[in-house]
Chain A
């Protein structure tokens, strides 16, 4: 099978990840499109027999990181690591409807630093191994682990509100 055809098979997953990463349908699809274009322009760099999916996620990460760099040089962004932003602002009151919680997930994810968001999603949504995530993001595996750990804890705090130990309400 042609690499081109194989690429097509990965498009739904790339879209799913991009949507979670960016939470804007248009921009997420733009990212997928840029990723596919770059991949198609470099198919000769892809080594047959290796993991096409990992390769695509690497490309997507690079495209995304470039865009984020460009955007941050142009615009003022809220620093998501800024501790002055109280996480209780995004707290979910106990008896909220499910849809609100789910929208809240979008929002909470956007509050994570990009580096943590990528790792949390690649592991939690894409179910990639820690080693594959390290490869895709081109960072040591220890960095993956610390981003995962901080990202999950932060996301949990964002979703649960400021009450310590508050349980998340949504489980299927």
Chain B
């Protein structure tokens, strides 16, 4: 084998791939690789393997952490207790994620939050993180509401009360029935900057829209609507004082923008709902 005539040890080859060789030794390994195409191929494959691991599994880092994996969280989440359908939704999430991603994205990846060349961020400021999370959450959680689960008044009230305590403010899911969308569920997602409330809506033709609201650590000035796009999912997002909002859906952008305006006007009560 050609490897035997190279002065580079097997151990050093791996250390080269893993970036732990000294500068000097690295140069020597590179010279050896130049003279040995087979070895160079092998080493390049090892590099490829490492990048494939990241490409394949880094997405897990951006998935919302399930309740059961949150240390200190009560064994049974309070949401599930107050709102039994959540238990079913969580199960559906676990089972349905592969399917959901397949059908909604039409490709093999979750809307990968890091370095996906398919994403076209409109701007790179910190609020965009919310938009990205919202897009991910939209795709990840929407399969859970395949069965229309109309939120009845009692559940809704429990949830709203519970949300209020978690987010430290009164949050009422806006009503989008005028635009043809009915509230079908809600959940609280853990995020790096704290919890995000997610409301799910269904349209008359089964189209889905989600609204994410998260409390921001840094109070920012109110911003204009911005668009974030990831595959077929459009997200309009904006910041209003302490809160960031994101409306996501795989629907026509104009319609989504109209919904975003409805949400905005209801949440701020600054203006009567347009339309």
Contacts and interface: CB of A to CB of B under 8 A. Distances in A.
Interface of A: 4-5, 7-8, 11-13, 15-17, 19-20, 25-26, 29, 32-33, 36, 40, 98-99, 101-103, 105-106, 120-121, 123-125, 127, 129-130, 145, 148-149, 152-153, 155-156, 159-160, 165, 167-168, 170-172
A101 B66 CA distance: 28
B20 interface: yes
A25 B93 CA distance: 11
Contacts, number: 117
Contact of A25 (B56, B94, B108, B109): B94
Interface residues of A, dominant DSSP: helix
Interface in B17-70: 18, 20, 38, 41-42, 44-58, 60-63, 65-66, 68-70
Given A102-B52, A165-B41, A149 B10 contact: yes
A150 to B, nearest CB: 10
B97 interface: yes
A106 B10 CA distance: 26
A155 to B, nearest CB: 6
A77 B111 CA distance: 35
18 contacts: A4-B72, A5-B71, A7-B71, A11-B70, A12-B63, A13-B61, A17-B57, A20-B53, A32-B69, A99-B107, A102-B56, A105-B52, A124-B53, A127-B18, A130-B15, A149-B10, A153-B42, A170-B48
A26 B94 contact: yes
B71 A4 contact: yes
B125 interface: no
A134 B4 CA distance: 27
Contacts of B60: 12, 15-16, 19
A156 B42 contact: yes
Interface residues of B, dominant DSSP: helix
B11 interface: yes
**Shortest Cβ-Cβ A-B pairs, 4 listed:** A99-B108, A16-B60, A125-B53, A168-B48
A36 B69 contact: yes
A121 B65 contact: no
Contacts of A159: 45, 49, 52
Interface residues of B, number: 40
Contacts of A11: 65, 69-71
B78 interface: no
B45 A167 contact: yes
A7 B60 CA distance: 17
A81 B118 CA distance: 39
B14 interface: yes
A7 to B, nearest CB: 5
A170 B52 contact: yes
A16 to B, nearest CB: 4
Contact of A172 (B14, B51, B71, B97): B51
Contacts of B47: 171
A168 B45 contact: yes
B99 to A, nearest CB: 12
Given A4-B72, A36-B71, A103-B108, A124 B44 contact: no
Nearest to B107: A99
A121 B68 contact: no
Nearest to A120: B49
Given A20-B53, A103-B108, A127-B18, 18 more contacts: A5-B71, A11-B69, A15-B60, A15-B61, A16-B57, A26-B94, A29-B94, A32-B69, A99-B109, A101-B52, A124-B18, A124-B50, A125-B54, A153-B42, A159-B45, A165-B41, A170-B51, A171-B48
Contacts of B55: 102, 170, 172
